[in-house]
Amino acid sequence: MIFKTKNFSAKEINKFRELQTLVFSLQTEIADTLEVGMSEKDVTTIMMKKYRAAGAGNYFHLPVALFGERTALPGDWTIAHFFPKKRLLAKGDSVILDAAPLFGGYLVDTSFSFSFGKNKEHDTMMRDIITERALILDAVNDGQSFQKIALDVHARAAANGYESAHEKHPGEVLGHRAGLWRIKGTGWRMKGFDGATLSWFIAKNKIAKLGLKTLNPLWGPSDTSNHKPTDGLWLVEPHYGKDGVGAKWEEILIINNGKAEWLQDNPPHVERWA
- For the stretch 225-248, pLDDT in tens is 999 999 999 999 999 999 999 999
**Which strands make up the sheet holding 218-219, listed edge to edge?**
218-219, 175-177, 232-236, 251-256, 259-262
For 172-209, b/e burial (b = at least 16 CB within 10 A) is bbbbbbbbbbeeeebeeeeeebbebbbebbeebbeebe
What's the CATH class of domain 3-273? alpha beta
111-120, 185-194, 210-219 — which one is most confidently predicted on average? 111-120
Evaluate whether 164 touches 240 at the Cβ level (below 8 Å): yes
Return mean pLDDT, the chain: 93
Taking 90 as the threshold, does the pLDDT of residue 222 lie above it?
A: yes
- The residue-averaged pLDDT of 143-167 equals 97
pLDDT at 188: 62
| Predicted TM-score (pTM) of this structure | 0.94
- For the stretch 190-214, pLDDT in tens is 666 776 787 877 787 888 788 777 7
Evaluate whether 89 touches 97 at the Cβ level (below 8 Å): no
pLDDT at 215: 81
Of 1 and 22, the one with more pLDDT: 22
Taking 60 as the threshold, does the pLDDT of residue 186 lie above it?
A: no
Domain boundaries in the chain?
Answer: 3-273
